[in-house]
Amino acid sequence: MSQDKPRYKFGWSRRLHGRRAFDAVFAGRCRKPAGPLVVYGLPNDMGYLRLGLSVSRRVGNAIKRNRIKRLIRETFRLCQQELVEDAAGGAGYDLVVVVRAHEAMKLEDYQRLLMDGVKAVAKQWQRRGG
């Protein structure tokens, strides 16, 4: 297996777990809206991104919420290498994506929104010197 091929995995280590981890990201106070998504970010020392999702009942019934979560997870899984290299400048971040009420979109739309949100969060942390 060649090292040049990107790995499209979204395992346990790439997920943000527990209330403390989510609270730490929210306490970082770095928030950037991207359409119906609000991306919160906090630098980590791991060198890769970790993703947490927050989808309230206001978004819709369980079927709609789960579909949106699956689409966002798939977006992250497919784009995580590109997000780290392009958007985050090679740095690792803990991300929490809060979803506002909207109709489910195409995967490409979520990819664009997530990329824009991560770029904005990384830029804000660079301005802060963190």
Orientation angle between helical segments 107-128 and 62-82, nearest 10 degrees? 60
CATH class of segment(s) 12-123: alpha beta
Mean pLDDT for the stretch of residues 80-86? 80
Task: Give domain limits for the chain.
Answer: 12-123
Q: What percent of the chain has pLDDT over 70?
A: 91
Is the pLDDT confidence value at 7 over 90?
no
Is the pLDDT confidence value at 81 over 90?
no
Q: pLDDT digit string (tens) for 14-60?
A: 899 999 999 999 999 999 999 999 999 999 888 888 999 999 999 99
How many Å apart are CA 89 and CA 97, to the nearest integer?
19
